[in-house]
Amino acid sequence: MRTLRTLDKQSNQTSFITQKFEETFGGSPAFIASAPGRVNLIGEHTDYNDGYVFPVAIDKYINIAARKRPDRRVTLHALDVDDAWEFSLDTLPAIPPQAPTWSRYFIGVASLLEASGREIVGIDAVITGDVPIGAGLSSSAALSVAATLAFLTASSELVGDGFPVPEDNKKKLAALCQRVEHEFVDVKCGIMDQTISLLGKENHALFLDCRSLEYEHVPLNLGEYAIAICNTKVKRELAASEYNKRRAECERGVDILSRRIPCISSLRDIALTDFKKHEEELPALTQKRCRYVIEENARVLEAVSVLKGRSQSAPEETDASLIRLGSLMNASHNGLRDDYEVSCKELDLLTDIARSITGVIGSRMTGAGFGGCTVSVVHQDALEIFQTRITTEYHQQTGIEPEIYLCNVSDGAQVFRSPGLS
């Protein structure tokens, strides 16, 4: 069951995009493919190290209203960036040099779907959404997931409302969307964002083992606490290259450590005690990067067990367990700032302000870093003061108006069909 607020929001978005489709192409769209962004509660930069993550899907979506075409052309209008692009499925997988970045997700998805043996058809589509772009809430994963659903639906691979495919197929689609980032956008991302966008569940966090891809939906028993996301509104051009560098540094660490510790193939396989015995053999920078990842994996496991334990414990213990969750989030941010070095002064400022407010139990950056958003766990009674203080103090010190999103934890990607669409 989706909350009324989420349903309302989705139905407003549905009417808006339907109208835009009609204005652009004439006639109604056949369906709307909708994929959510995410916020990661804990487990940052662990996914490409075969580790653990703990994200939730949020009620912010990328929506694609589409209709199949009788030929193999793909005509796209991206409303939020006021841009359009067109290509033919016959030219895949070539990416014309002038293709805008957003169109590469469609070119990539279509290429990989065809390469997997599926027969896809051309589409007319308009794209819009409210996942802030480049803010660390996975707008690009949501775009590739929604594009995948759009091609599959138009090509009659998906029949019926919702997204009625077995969960194992969703994992395969997540892997396909991850390949799009690697091969068509040149970001060597992990599997977290695409998986949560496909497998999110309302009011649950996804505990995902990024090696086996086994997962568990853990009820998000936050009681009187809410999740607040704050956007620094800062974007770093270096994010993609620094991201790929971090990945390479971790691989280097594994390579060196595997000469000392047998049977390891990723940082996930190394216990902190073993790491401490051998860390001196690593170059200083590699040492810091690896330490962070190993500690972060342990924090995710503890955070998951804290949340799972809450349903069974007495009310006075529940607050103590949430406070522990908050401390783990704080420690995660400190590691990202000091050892992994992917934070920035604006993210640090937002977490510092948040942590100084009574009623905030934890605050950390979320996503790849170098800008983007923080995630905080805030007592309901403190939400008002939280919003006031974050807005005024962040603005005073940076001159930037931050954005604050109080999101519901939502279901994963869906397809809504005409008539009515929702």
Counts for the chain of helices (H) and strands (E), in that order: 11, 13
Does 130 qualify as catalytic in the annotation? Answer: no
Nearer to ligand GLA, 239 or 325 (CB): 239
Q: x/- contact string, 399-418, with ligand GLA (CB under 6 A)? A: --------------------
Which of 50, 193, 269, 411 is labelled catalytic? 193
Nearer to ligand GLA, 29 or 37 (CB): 37
**Interior angle at CA 236, CA 230 and CA 241, nearest 5:** 125
- Site residues (CB under 6 A) for ligand GLA, limited to 137-156: 138
The first and second tokens of residue 83, run together, are 């841009």
Q: x/- contact string, 111-140, with ligand GLA (CB under 6 A)? A: ---------------------------x--
Q: Minimum Å distance from CB 46 to ligand GLA?
A: 7
Q: x/- contact string, 24-53, with ligand GLA (CB under 6 A)? A: --------------------xx-xx-----
Which one-letter DSSP state was computed for residue 258? T
Q: Minimum Å distance from CB 353 to ligand GLA?
A: 23
On the CB side of 13, CA atoms within 13 Å amount to 27
Q: Is 209 helix (H, G, I), strand (E, B) or coil?
A: strand
Ordered DSSP codes for 56-122: EEEEEEEEEEEEE-SSSEEEEEEGGGTEEEEEEGGGTT---TT--HHHHHHHHHHHHHHHTT-----
Q: x/- contact string, 187-226, with ligand GLA (CB under 6 A)? A: --xx-xx---------------------------------
Nearer to ligand GLA, 357 or 375 (CB): 375
How far does CA 13 lie from the centroid of its chain? 20
- Site residues (CB under 6 A) for ligand GLA, limited to 330-389: 367-368
Nearer to ligand GLA, 370 or 394 (CB): 370
Nearer to ligand GLA, 14 or 194 (CB): 194
The C-alpha atoms of residue 68 and residue 302 are separated, in whole angstroms, by 47
The C-alpha atoms of residue 107 and residue 62 are separated, in whole angstroms, by 17
The C-alpha atoms of residue 328 and residue 321 are separated, in whole angstroms, by 11
Q: Minimum Å distance from CB 192 to ligand GLA?
A: 5
Active site amino acids:
193
Residues in contact with ligand GLA by the rule CB under 6 A: 44-45, 47-48, 138, 189-190, 192-193, 367-368
